[in-house]
Structure 1
Amino acid sequence: MKLIQVFGMGCARCREAENNVREAAARLGIDAPVEFVGDLKVMAAMGIIGTPAIAVDGKVVLAGSVPSAAQAAALLEKFA
């Protein structure tokens, strides 16, 4: 795993998703940067129409909902 991205506009739901992803990555010991992306052009280019969204190594793995830390960990484990 090289990069984890959380996409959103900076709303409370998107920041909650970012926090949960960061917590999950830390808990799993994943040594990959977690980046918050708020650029609409980047989101459109990746086909994201619902936020928050999460991508791992450029592949969107979740969109339109806020994962709990446990759900985020389950997503990240698939790519670790």
Structure 2
Amino acid sequence: MEIKVLGTGCQKCKELDKMVREALAEMNVAANVEKVEDIGQIVQYGVMLTPGLVINGKVKISGRLPNKADIKKMIEEENK
């Protein structure tokens, strides 16, 4: 599973990265988590507002900070 946390380094972006890693650990799911801070790469995903969350190439979140339960649900959907 490939997960990308999109954000230029703001507090919400850092918090999303932390929550994603915690959710994966709690679920015992292996994933390659990458923090993408380059604005050019972020725009390529069509994300105009950060933070953004991309799982397996699909944009799941843009412009808001989800709760950990939502993150776990997204991971489960893509881990089938």
User: When the two structures are superposed, what TM-score results if normalisation uses the length of structure 1?
Assistant: 0.92
- Where structure 1 has 5 or more consecutive residues not aligned to the other structure, the ranges are none
- Partner in structure 2 of residue 24 of structure 1: 23
| Off by >6 Å, runs of 4+ in structure 1 | none
**CA RMSD of superposed structures (Å):** 0.9
Alpha-carbon distance in structure 1 between the residues aligned to 2:22 and 2:70: 11
Corresponding pairs, count: 79
Matches within 5 A, 1:45-64: 45-64=44-63
- Where structure 2 has 5 or more consecutive residues not aligned to the other structure, the ranges are none
Q: Identity percentage over the alignment?
A: 34
Letter in 2 for 1:29: N
TM-superposed deviation, 1:50: 1.0
- Partner in structure 1 of residue 3 of structure 2: 4
User: When the two structures are superposed, what TM-score results if normalisation uses the length of structure 2?
Assistant: 0.92
SS across alignment from 2:30: coil
